[in-house]
Amino acid sequence: MKPIERIFHAVLFEVLAVTLAIIVLATFTNHHVGSLSGTMIVVATMAMAWNFIYNWCFDRIVTGDKTKRSLVLRVVHTIIFQAGLLIFTIPVIAFLLGISLWQALIMDIGVTICITIYAFLYNLTYDHTRAFIVRERAIAN
């Protein structure tokens, strides 16, 4: 993918992820959509920053060919990433929504589960849609 498509992929992912999180939380909590929107935008921004910092540090510690990383290492990488993100976002969610840390933990875990499933489906759909478009363009030319 070219850089512009990477940007499109990332922005579309985040817009849809924030929208999904707001819908899920609005469905299962008593919080106002406006409060949830602001909170999820802050959380998404934190997630992007944490993603950059965490992966930069991880790549400095775990060197070598990234394509040779084991499944176990990839699972550990993901678990540490999500745990670190929860540590940062739980107090922010609690503060912004005026709820307890326990309530924020439950909300954040729920969002994390939804976003993990969404990320899998989003990337699967994106990759197949992109392949279809590229194939159709090649046929047309």
**Span 100-130, pLDDT tens digits:** 999 999 999 999 999 889 988 998 898 889 8
Q: Identify the band that residue 9 occupies on the pLDDT scale cut at 50, 70 and 90.
A: confident
**Average pLDDT, stretch 21-49?**
94
The CA distance from 31 to 35, in Å, is 7
Q: What is the mean pLDDT of residues 14-38?
A: 94
Read off the amino acid at residue 1. M
pLDDT band, residue 29 (cuts 50/70/90): very high
Predicted confidence at residue 50, as pLDDT, reads 92
Find where tokens 């699972």 sit: 75
**Rounded CA separation 19/138 (Å):** 34
- How many other CB atoms sit within 10 Å of the CB of residue 73? 12
The model's pLDDT over 39-91, given as tens digits with 9 standing for 90+, comes to: 999 999 999 899 889 989 998 999 988 888 898 998 899 899 999 999 999 99
pLDDT at 43: 95
> What pLDDT is attached to residue 45?
94
Task: Say what the pLDDT of residue 66 is.
Answer: 80
- Coil, helix or strand at residue 99: coil
Residue 1 has pLDDT above 80, yes or no: no
Q: How far is CA 22 from CA 41, 65, 103, in A?
A: 10, 38, 16
Cα-atom radius of gyration of the chain, to the nearest Å?
18
